Structure 1
Amino acid sequence: GCRPRAIFLYNRHTTRYPDKENIVEMQDVLPQLLRNIQSAVKEKKVHICKADLEQLERWKMPFKPHHDNKVTPSGKSVVGDQVRRLRRRFPGLFQGRFNASDFVVGYTSRERTRQTAEAFLEHLLSKQDFDAVNFGPPQDSLLQFHKECNKLIKEKKSTPVEVDKFEKGPYMKRLLDTMSWRLGFNVTRDDVDIMYRACVFEYAIHEASPWCAAFNEAELKAIEFREDLDDYYKDAYGLKRNYAQACPIVRELVDRFRNVSKDPSQPTKLLYFSHAGGFKKVVARLGLYRDAE
């Protein structure tokens, strides 16, 4: 069979905390939403089970502004799991004598990508070998290629028409009505966003969040669909300009593999850590996971 000679990893950073702006907003708004629920409980307007209400009563804000976008401990653990899977899948690539020149490590100027790169190599290498790896400076021009397209960035600021239609359509109206009935007060779209953000971040980082009780499964899927729709038109197959931008990464992949095929002394562990916006564009550029027309 085939024997892998090199690996090219283009990775989103791992699990992170919310950004400072979102944390401050949650600190300001969530306690008021909790008070609204507590007032509705007294008026017997709430339709949430007792156990979930007790969890909400005990809720304390788990994030601080200084957490701003940093990688979480759970995120570092996720990276360790990823390294173990890669070791099992490509044992020949990660065995043998360490050579620092085998490694190319790329990350952006945002701290979370450097932290993810470090966590990856800490799980992969010994302390001595880790210290020998040359991280080099951030590579924003390559790994945040989409930020270079200033004209396109300005164009994409508006909400895609399809997303706007869904947002203003009957499904989201029913969602607001149902959530208002469940929580006992008039829930706004902004309220939904901030409770959803608390739910997903707390669940991703701490594996539980009392704010998830504000939603049923169908509502969570509806909000996820809205986000997927937005991604489709801003980062993926919805517009050709999205994935047309990803050529620098594809060129890097092809050039690196071509170099290794011609010269075995070239680096064979090509590890790049970027962001969701770039990652989705690269996936689309490679034609992956595209539904039949």
Structure 2
Amino acid sequence: MIDRLRGRSNVALFSRHGTRYPRNDPEPGGEDFRADQGREMELDALIQQMPILRDAVIQNHLSGRGELCAEDLQNLRDWTIDIPPELEEKLAPSGKEEMHDIGQRYTAPITRSEFTTASRAEKSCHHYAKGVLGNKEEDTIVYPIPIENDPLIQKFIEGPEVAATVSTVSKRLGFCCRYDKALYYGQLSPWCASLSNSDLLVLEYIDDLLYYYKDGYGYDINWMQACNPVVDVATYFNSIVLGSPYCAQLLARWGFYKDVMAPTASSFAFMSGRQWSTSRMQNFGVNMVSVLFRCELNAYKVQLYVNERLTHIPGCATDTCLFSEFAAIVQPIIETCDLDAICENPPAYVH
């Protein structure tokens, strides 16, 4: 919850959509786990292939070739999945619930909302609004028309850590854990029992590498182009004071989760305590809230919440930042926020 300072406050929220159903977007080599490069499992794999794998696991155990305990094996026997193809990439019930719950926890009034063209983004916005407004939507909310294989990553995917994990995961068939757990939140997933903590850490590192060089600090162009949301927040706050996902990119634009050492294909063993972690910053429903407070003596202050936790803004003296400090931090971002110029510049590779 937002810590309430004395006086009035204005809030700007930036959030990823809630949990969605998987996509059915086959890629070349998609059947090879190591060639998938962190992409979500295809819809047909969940609907068609997983029941076949489930039956194969059970048959292997009946033949004396298996490593799951009796309880995990029974959970696997009981596992079923029913996702109609028309639900591809649509917002799942668990996603509706999590966005509604976030809205209930952020009870600040809503005057305007924006979302991308994706149905899951629009539905997430509506369910968030229902959470804020108590399961009803008001005419005062404006819903505008929505706007429209890295070698380094492949090196790690083809490396010994992933090879060992693929061997282990293939042996115990834990392919379905991620989506099964997200779609049916709060329920025990028999597929997750197939994964050890070490397996999960290696799989997470694949995503960490992917998003670090796709959306994060790996290339300057990634985080520089996320300047518009920062400009929007600064403009909104300035209009009040003066009287008038891209989640990973935006977090990088603010300077969050930046490690001293960049993750590489060969640094997995040394990065266990890294800040850049997709488990924290790229999950469904990840959100960032900027709050402008008007305190005693008409002093304005700013707070920033990432996933509902008060987060220190780099460059501010304290977690509650004086508006003058905040303005000085965002001014260079505003002055250099020229997407045409940014995208024409070649990216600077980070070794």
**Which deviations, in whole Å up to 9, do the C-alpha atoms of 1:24-75 show, x marking residues without a partner?**
2322221222233233223311111111111112221232212212222222
1:112 paired residue number:
120
1:85 paired residue number:
105
1:179 paired residue number:
169
**Cα shift at 1:224:** 1.1
* Contact 2:103-2:130 within 8 A present in 1 as well: no
1:137 paired residue number:
145
Q: Is there any run of 5+ residues in structure 1 with no aligned partner, and where?
A: 88-92, 95-101, 141-157, 184-194, 267-275
1:76 paired residue number:
96
The residue correspondences of 1:218-233 to structure 2 (distance < 5 A) are 218-233=198-213
CA distance in 2, matches of 1:240, 1:40: 49
Query: Which structure is richer in relative contact order (CA contacts within 8 A, separation 6 or more)?
Result: 1
Q: Secondary structure at the match of 2:45?
A: helix
* Contact 2:215-2:248 within 8 A present in 1 as well: yes
Q: Is there any run of 5+ residues in structure 2 with no aligned partner, and where?
A: 26-41, 262-351
TM superposition score normalised by structure 2: 0.62
* Contact 2:24-2:44 within 8 A present in 1 as well: yes
**Cα shift at 1:228:** 1.1
**Cα shift at 1:160:** 4.0
The residue correspondences of 1:1-293 to structure 2 (distance < 5 A) are 3-21=7-25, 22-87=42-107, 93-94=108-109, 103-125=111-133, 130-140=138-148, 158-161=149-152, 163-182=153-172, 195-196=174-175, 198-207=176-185, 208-263=188-243, 276=245, 278-293=246-261
* Contact 1:202-1:209 within 8 A present in 2 as well: yes
Amino acid at match of 1:228: D
| Higher-helix-fraction structure | 1
Amino acid at match of 1:284: A
CA distance in 2, matches of 1:127, 1:17: 23
Identity of aligned residues (%): 27
CA distance in 2, matches of 1:288, 1:173: 31
Amino acid at match of 1:82: I
CA distance in 2, matches of 1:259, 1:116: 27
CA distance in 2, matches of 1:51, 1:23: 27
* Contact 2:21-2:88 within 8 A present in 1 as well: yes
**Which deviations, in whole Å up to 9, do the C-alpha atoms of 1:208-263 show, x marking residues without a partner?**
32111221121012101111111111111111111111122222221121112222
CA distance in 1, matches of 2:20, 2:170: 30
Amino acid at match of 2:154: D
**More moved, 17-26 vs 219-228:** 17-26
Amino acid at match of 1:209: S
- Quote the RMSD (CA, aligned, Å): 2.2
* Contact 1:233-1:239 within 8 A present in 2 as well: yes
Number of residue pairs aligned between Structure 1 and Structure 2: 239
CA distance in 2, matches of 1:178, 1:107: 40
CA distance in 2, matches of 1:256, 1:41: 61
